[in-house]
Amino acid sequence: MGISEVYGDHGTLVLGSNNLKDYIHGFHLQAAPAGQSLTEVEIIKQLAFPELFTDGRLALFIRVVDRWGKSIDQGKYLVPSLCEGVYSQ
């Protein structure tokens, strides 16, 4: 099982998956305020992938290309931020 854990003054986040062959689908997020037990957190709809693929890497590739295409259509630049840095980790 792959697990990433983040600890801070305000609480803990734990992201994990039992499927080590797919880096996109099957993840579960748990959170807890400081000093409390972890509980499952539902992934918000805006972050969920609209379609499941046999190979989850396709979902990620399609999302990146879609954002890139929309930025071209809107005449805007995609500027990496801290959020993109965290996602890439």
Domain that holds residue 17: 1-45
CB 16 within 8 A of CB 4: yes
Distance CA 57, CA 72 (A): 23
Do 35 and 68 reside in the same domain of the chain? no
Do 2 and 40 reside in the same domain of the chain? yes
Do 70 and 34 reside in the same domain of the chain? no
Do 13 and 41 reside in the same domain of the chain? yes
Question: For residue 33, what pLDDT is reported?
Answer: 96
pLDDT one-digit tens code per residue, 3-27 = 789 999 999 999 888 777 777 777 8
Q: Give the residue from 42, 6, 2 showing the smallest Cα distance to 23.
A: 2
Q: Domains in the chain: how many in total?
A: 2
CB 29 within 8 A of CB 62: no
Model's pTM, two decimal places? 0.55
pLDDT one-digit tens code per residue, 35-85 = 999 999 987 887 777 777 777 778 778 888 888 888 889 988 877 777 777
**Angle ∠(85,24,17) on CA atoms, nearest 5:** 100
